[in-house]
Chains A and B, each alone.
Chain A
């Protein structure tokens, strides 16, 4: 637990009762939760080792209520932490002792399904899977499919710019939304986009996506839905080494094939998955690829042949083509349950999320193995190979003193390695609390200050989810200053025409 949150403000803690009284004037009594036992369920998100009771929990039901809560918080100088389903793996929804936890779970309605315009308007508390469930009988689906899709909310998906196994071909959340309604820290309600493509001016919707609850509260989302491909099939490809698997991934893409999904697991993950739920994985493979191909039937057949050939050329010892839809889903079941499966051999695990250039996969996985021996911890790898997004799962025992610290240090080393080889700290889980203090490995002070200036345009007093994403909080007045030497500088000697 190496990361510390900002000191709670005593003034705010002192005003707690008054705040709760005023919140109860905005919301029904049952939607303002102040009792410790009832607040316990909200004390952490998916980053389990960071826990904190909030000042108070509120569960608004309408945009009007969200707006009033925000305006009140603004007036009383109280911080606000938005929360969807609380499955974030980076601590984005970690409460603050002196902050309101704004839980969006009561915003759970699908508002409109518009097939001709291929979109669905939802409230942010709707779960990811519920969107596909609502439109699949008409042959549509919502493409971004995080493994947590049964539980996580669309609002949280926008907050983190969530991805899934279909990102390589169909994009992340940001590529699949058309409109947002947001509430700013001062209570103003704005609408961005709609059912049309692209923005009239600045792409504020693109900025909101992945902003981890730091810029505004999302109260409505218009999602693009896609028609189901005519045919979908999947292959399992097993290799005797990670390098062979990684090379195969590169060759598939070099051949101009963009699979619907291209996932890889290392041996530890394969065995854990197979043990958790028999899905036909070869337990002796050092690397296993799940490759999904979609399109017209004859095209899929051609692609299956192509991928099998490439895999054979890379020495695949195991090639299995899904014989039917049931088997395809079985291939995926192992991958989709890989986190809980690894959790089962745990006892605890830490999930990393760096992205690297694909051609570094072999190298980085080897280094991770070296680090694992150095820290004497096990690490299973499950990842989106197609887009180079790694998910090293570091196994540790929370009950063993020092183990968590070791695991955190190991994780930080992996992320530094990702940045070193040209990659980034996080591909889809967000910075949150977890990676906050590593931001300077990727960004200069100038870069970070510019990002924070953008934050100031939304939230000049840093009341919305502070302590997340940015390692240092600068006051907006300080950030805004610019020292211009009026009339002193001549134009330098640079060619002109």
Chain B
């Protein structure tokens, strides 16, 4: 495989036009840290955006940052930290899941896969933070949309379309994003001993109260081989985690209220302070509990209140679930299943369809990802529309052909 590293968007455009001329599909990567996501490709040529780096514009008081798409995410995170700011949606780092070190991704790759972490439930997804971009379409044309202001309805919201499109519309050359002040401090309350149904009920109830909780997760006791993100002495117990972030004043006040209200209900509560709390959520965010294992991994997004029921239905259907945990108050289920040729997709899709939502196969071998719908199958009319939209940017399917579906 040949990998080209263009230096600017004009060079990207030339490459895409050349690829069109040669009818040679292109793989698109940033640093390649998320290459394991989606279907495998057999393209012979690859474009990496890692040659387009650097922050173009950063104005902390404007809460806006613009960067070339190949800029390492770690560089941006560090820069933001210097100004007590951050990416509020807590981008997932896919390193641990694929057995790689953390910190390898690019900013463009992050938006290409819409990777949002636990705080998504409160502050929105990556898609809610992309203000504008420049890109090269599958027609080899440079185009742009959006801007660098918070509110903008001029023309279609192409940023939403581009985010999570896995490079099948265009290759980002620049992205402009909204950044937010970083919380002064944070901690996690761990309620001990709830079963899954109780935990989901507790979390959805809490999410309806004004505590501004910025993370709701539930970890049933993990089977051996899976590494708990919690401190050792708690690792074997069912843990329901509620995260509080903000100023010292605010966190202290809310902690007191929450702890006493939980105690009044007879709940047993432990507290993870600063660093422990941070590590806990980072591990949940990145699927670290599944890090060293061989299981196939699914991520299911569904209505939060149904979370535990959905898992019970999977078990009733004999899906060999080896390990699972819940984020987004029950709305996100991380699932590790015993490896199989079909990754148990038919049963998983059927159960998810009965509850509403979608399942994405996050980790499986090349062969399995080639054979199984990695992204949730769509009803025919929507599948056809999806295809027409794809063609509108890339009629020859020159960019990441087959990455998201065999017809796309």
CB of B153 within 8 A of CB of A492, answer no
CB of A357 within 8 A of CB of B149, answer yes
Q: Name the segment of A39-47, A341-349, A417-425 touching the other chain.
A: A417-425
Residue of A with least CB distance to B122:
A226
**Listed A/B pairs (30) with beta-carbon separation below 8 Å:** A118-B304, A138-B208, A139-B209, A167-B150, A168-B150, A171-B128, A174-B160, A190-B385, A196-B357, A196-B358, A199-B164, A200-B358, A201-B404, A204-B382, A204-B386, A207-B156, A209-B160, A251-B61, A298-B250, A299-B249, A299-B253, A388-B149, A425-B154, A450-B137, A451-B158, A482-B395, A489-B18, A491-B22, A494-B6, A497-B3
Residue of A with least CB distance to B48:
A497
Rounded to whole angstroms, the CA-CA distance of A254 and B60 in the bound complex is 7
Rounded to whole angstroms, the CA-CA distance of A188 and B383 in the bound complex is 12
Q: Name the segment of A79-87, A314-322, A426-434 touching the other chain.
A: A426-434
Rounded to whole angstroms, the CA-CA distance of A75 and B7 in the bound complex is 50
List of B residues within 8 angstroms of A422 by Cβ: 147-149
List of B residues within 8 angstroms of A230 by Cβ: 210-211
Binary contact track B140-172/A, C-beta < 8 Å → 1, others 0: 011111011111111111101101110000000
List of A residues within 8 angstroms of B302 by Cβ: 195-196
Q: Which 3 A-B pairs have the closest CB atoms?
A: A206-B160, A256-B181, A299-B250
CB of B153 within 8 A of CB of A175, answer no
List of A residues within 8 angstroms of B84 by Cβ: 256
Determine whether A34 belongs to the interface, using a CB cutoff of 8 Å to chain B. no
Which residues of B come within 8 Å of A, CB atoms? 2-7, 11, 14-15, 17-18, 20-23, 45, 51, 59-64, 84, 114, 116, 120-121, 124-125, 127-128, 137, 139, 141-145, 147-158, 160-161, 163-165, 180-182, 184, 201, 204-205, 207-212, 246-247, 249-250, 252-254, 257, 301-305, 328, 331-332, 356-358, 360, 375-376, 378-379, 381-382, 385-386, 388-393, 395-396, 404-405
Determine whether A374 belongs to the interface, using a CB cutoff of 8 Å to chain B. no
Binary contact track A51-93/B, C-beta < 8 Å → 1, others 0: 0000000000000000000000000000000000000000000
CB of B153 within 8 A of CB of A430, answer yes
CB of A486 within 8 A of CB of B156, answer no
Which of B116, B120, B303, B332 has the most C-beta atoms of chain A within 10 angstroms of its own C-beta?
A: B303
CB of B5 within 8 A of CB of A457, answer no
Least Cβ–Cβ distance between B301 and chain A, in angstroms: 5
A495-B4 contact in complex given A358-B62, A457-B391, A484-B396, C-beta closer than 8 Å? yes
Which of A198, A295, A429 has the most C-beta atoms of chain B within 10 angstroms of its own C-beta?
A: A198
List of A residues within 8 angstroms of B180 by Cβ: 258
Determine whether A400 belongs to the interface, using a CB cutoff of 8 Å to chain B. no
CB of A496 within 8 A of CB of B253, answer no
List of B residues within 8 angstroms of A203 by Cβ: 114, 127, 160-161, 163-165
CB of B153 within 8 A of CB of A426, answer yes
List of B residues within 8 angstroms of A426 by Cβ: 152-154
Rounded to whole angstroms, the CA-CA distance of A474 and B98 in the bound complex is 46
Which residues of A come within 8 Å of B, CB atoms? 114-118, 138-140, 160-161, 163, 167-168, 171-172, 174-175, 184, 188-192, 194-207, 209-211, 227-230, 250-251, 253-254, 256-258, 295-299, 302, 355-359, 384, 387-389, 422-431, 435, 439, 442-444, 446-448, 450-451, 453-458, 469, 480, 482, 484-492, 494-497
Least Cβ–Cβ distance between B194 and chain A, in angstroms: 16
Rounded to whole angstroms, the CA-CA distance of A199 and B379 in the bound complex is 13
List of A residues within 8 angstroms of B376 by Cβ: 200-201
Rounded to whole angstroms, the CA-CA distance of A177 and B2 in the bound complex is 43
A439-B154 contact in complex given A424-B149, A495-B51, C-beta closer than 8 Å? yes
Rounded to whole angstroms, the CA-CA distance of A115 and B206 in the bound complex is 11
Least Cβ–Cβ distance between A73 and chain B, in angstroms: 18
Rounded to whole angstroms, the CA-CA distance of A424 and B3 in the bound complex is 37
CB of B331 within 8 A of CB of A489, answer no
Rounded to whole angstroms, the CA-CA distance of A36 and B184 in the bound complex is 63
A497-B5 contact in complex given A168-B150, A201-B404, A469-B155, C-beta closer than 8 Å? yes
List of B residues within 8 angstroms of A210 by Cβ: 153, 156-157
A355-B385 contact in complex given A174-B157, A496-B2, C-beta closer than 8 Å? no
Residue of B with least CB distance to A247:
B61
CB of A197 within 8 A of CB of B120, answer yes
Residue of A with least CB distance to B5:
A495
A202-B164 contact in complex given A359-B61, A451-B156, C-beta closer than 8 Å? yes
CB of B7 within 8 A of CB of A355, answer no
A447-B145 contact in complex given A439-B154, A457-B389, C-beta closer than 8 Å? yes
Residue of A with least CB distance to B46:
A496
CB of A484 within 8 A of CB of B21, answer yes
Least Cβ–Cβ distance between B102 and chain A, in angstroms: 23
Least Cβ–Cβ distance between B155 and chain A, in angstroms: 5
Which of A116, A205, A209, A429 has the most C-beta atoms of chain B within 10 angstroms of its own C-beta?
A: A116
Least Cβ–Cβ distance between A419 and chain B, in angstroms: 9
Rounded to whole angstroms, the CA-CA distance of A271 and B393 in the bound complex is 51
Known: A116-B304, A480-B395. 14 other contacts (CB 8 A): A190-B381, A194-B357, A198-B127, A202-B161, A207-B157, A211-B157, A227-B207, A256-B84, A258-B180, A296-B212, A359-B61, A425-B154, A489-B22, A491-B18
CB of A302 within 8 A of CB of B378, answer no
List of B residues within 8 angstroms of A442 by Cβ: 147, 154-155
A494-B208 contact in complex given A202-B386, A426-B154, A456-B392, C-beta closer than 8 Å? no
CB of B208 within 8 A of CB of A227, answer yes
CB of B208 within 8 A of CB of A139, answer yes
Least Cβ–Cβ distance between A147 and chain B, in angstroms: 14
A431-B153 contact in complex given A201-B378, A253-B61, A491-B4, C-beta closer than 8 Å? yes
A355-B157 contact in complex given A450-B137, A494-B4, C-beta closer than 8 Å? no
Residue of A with least CB distance to B147:
A424
CB of A357 within 8 A of CB of B64, answer yes
CB of B304 within 8 A of CB of A295, answer no
Residue of B with least CB distance to A116:
B305
CB of B385 within 8 A of CB of A384, answer no
Least Cβ–Cβ distance between B154 and chain A, in angstroms: 5
A428-B153 contact in complex given A299-B247, A494-B6, C-beta closer than 8 Å? yes
CB of A355 within 8 A of CB of B150, answer yes
CB of B62 within 8 A of CB of A359, answer yes
CB of A492 within 8 A of CB of B18, answer yes
List of B residues within 8 angstroms of A251 by Cβ: 61
List of B residues within 8 angstroms of A116 by Cβ: 201, 204-205, 208, 304-305
Least Cβ–Cβ distance between B156 and chain A, in angstroms: 5
List of B residues within 8 angstroms of A298 by Cβ: 249-250, 252-253
Contact of A454 among B148, B205, B392 (CB under 8 A): B392
Rounded to whole angstroms, the CA-CA distance of A118 and B203 in the bound complex is 12
CB of B210 within 8 A of CB of A197, answer no
CB of A458 within 8 A of CB of B51, answer no
Rounded to whole angstroms, the CA-CA distance of A205 and B386 in the bound complex is 12
Rounded to whole angstroms, the CA-CA distance of A201 and B3 in the bound complex is 27
